[in-house]
Structure 1
Amino acid sequence: MDPPSRRDAMFRKGQTAVLVVDMQVIWLEPGADPFHPEHGPDHYFYRQTAATTIPNVQRILKAARANGVEVVHTIIQSLTEDGRDRSLDHKLTPIHVPPSLPAGRPVAALAPVGDEIVLPKTSSGVFNSTNIDYVLKNLGIRYLIVVGVMTDQCVDMAVRDAADRSYLVTCVADACATASEERHEAALRAFGGYCWVTDTDTVVARIEALGKDA
């Protein structure tokens, strides 16, 4: 097949995956994040993720699973209990999610199903601290749909790094979130040149169209 000639090219059957970024209990349930104890349940991030982000990611995962689209999850999680393997940035921040911590798992609504791949990372960029590029290429993936948190941090890194590695990237704006609406919109403007920014309705419709292909 000829390579895609535009960022909003239609997804292709057998070449498309959804990447779910850091949709973990520790970040998404109020009170679970020890690094931001000042953020109560009324904080914008928790309201936005509960009302919009998580339900939209659910819809995308349901469509993907029903239509043969790979689902890959990445989570922030150290390889060691004391976090000695973390990036310097995560040590300085500090961010440490030991592998034994139950809150490090994806939230129940977005839990991996079957043998969906889960890649723990110890940096903002999943392409920097995991073998995701190797895995996606082995799966034959060219089209990468990115959802998750935080829009201006780990999602941003995933989008830019994937684009630099010749994936055709789609960022689903209403299936991502960060600490404020201003930060979210600014991030989408900043990395929009590396991907197609669209919405859940459009992505679900395009994924469902794959199931109708002969």
Structure 2
Amino acid sequence: MPNPAPVPSSSIAHTSLVRPRRPETIVRFAAGSGGTVEIDLGRTALLVVDMQNDFLHPDGWFPQAGIATAAALGIVPGIDALAAALRGAGAPVIFVNWGVRADVANLPAGLIDKGRCGGTRPGYADLSPAGRGDILVQGQWGAATIDALAVAPGDLVVHKHRFSGFHDNELDSILRARDVTTLLFAGINTDRCVFATLTDASFRGYDCVLLSDLCATVSPPSVTDTILFLTDLLYGAVASGAALTAVLAGAGPSASPIPQETSR
């Protein structure tokens, strides 16, 4: 078989597989243990979990079922401030919200039953008691982030249909495409979707920081204590979102952000 004719060098396309990387920017801020935690802003993203209408708005699924929202609403200003500071530093802000299929075709029977509390209340994709569409259905009111929390044009929104924000969706691909290795966690509920997403992230190789002052839950305080203990012991670090916000604003006790050379 004759050899193929050589391709003229002038017609060979140039392919670049170089991925731009943000400069390393190290910040250090207060950890829950009394020490400090250090992160590289160039490879960090904030995940804001489940701060959405069906959990927090008076017309939403949880409030209509009599579930208290005061603790969750109390973390909104702190999340908003940190998100703004991280945007200013060029770090991605990602809202991870429940957003199920209208036909719940990919939800198991056990999860559907838990959502309905054994048939005592409406659940996933059922009609909202307040007439706000279908509960937690992607693209509808209940799955949207609450108005009190700013979502900037450059922010990303990822929908989930399990307690973990990584199950069967695009979150992992989005983070890897942005060269993110460290995740900051804020939102609700500390012991449910926040912790499930954090542990799943840890299993996938991400470094995890639970911002204890920017998370809340309706569970008893002892449950939160357990989550903080396990996170610090096994899955990452527990730290202060307010402390990080202060450092990024140049008002914190820790060193200001320090630009470094691109990746070591």
- Scaled by the length of structure 1, the TM-score of the pair is 0.84
Measured after TM superposition, the shift of residue 147 of structure 1 is 0.6
User: Which of 153, 160, 167 pairs up with 1:114?
Assistant: 153
Please name the residue that 1:72 is paired with: 94
Percent identity, aligned pairs only, is 21
Q: Aligned residue pairs: how many?
A: 203
Q: Tell me the SS of whatever aligns to 1:10.
A: strand
- Is 1:190 the counterpart of 2:230? The answer is yes
Quote the Cα distance in structure 2 between the aligned partners of 1:122 and 1:68. 29
- Is 1:57 the counterpart of 2:96? The answer is no
Moved more, 169-178 or 114-123: 114-123
1:1-214 aligned within 5 A: 9-33=37-61, 37-39=65-67, 43=68, 46-51=69-74, 53-78=75-100, 80-94=101-115, 95-96=123-124, 97-179=136-218, 180-193=220-233, 194-208=235-249, 209-210=256-257, 213=259
Residues 89, 123 of structure 1: 8 Å contact kept:
no
Question: What amino acid does structure 2 have at the position aligned with 1:13?
Answer: L
Please name the residue that 2:12 is paired with: none
Question: What amino acid does structure 1 have at the position aligned with 2:89?
Answer: N
User: 1:167-210 CA distances to partner (integer Å, 9 max, x unpaired)?
Assistant: 11110001001113332222222333211101122222454544
Larger radius of gyration: 2
Q: Tell me the SS of whatever aligns to 2:191.
A: helix
User: 1:126-163 CA distances to partner (integer Å, 9 max, x unpaired)?
Assistant: 11132211211110001110111110011111111111
Moved more, 64-73 or 93-102: 93-102
More helix by share: 1
Residues 37, 237 of structure 2: 8 Å contact kept:
no
Q: Tell me the SS of whatever aligns to 1:175.
A: strand
Residues 90, 122 of structure 1: 8 Å contact kept:
no
Measured after TM superposition, the shift of residue 50 of structure 1 is 2.1
Q: Tell me the SS of whatever aligns to 1:106.
A: coil
Quote the Cα distance in structure 2 between the aligned partners of 1:87 and 1:63. 39
Kindly report the root-mean-square deviation, in angstroms, between the aligned alpha carbons of the 2 structures: 2.6
Q: Tell me the SS of whatever aligns to 1:19.
A: strand
Unpaired stretches in structure 1, ≥5 consecutive residues? none
- Scaled by the length of structure 2, the TM-score of the pair is 0.69
Unpaired stretches in structure 2, ≥5 consecutive residues? 1-22, 116-122, 125-135, 250-255
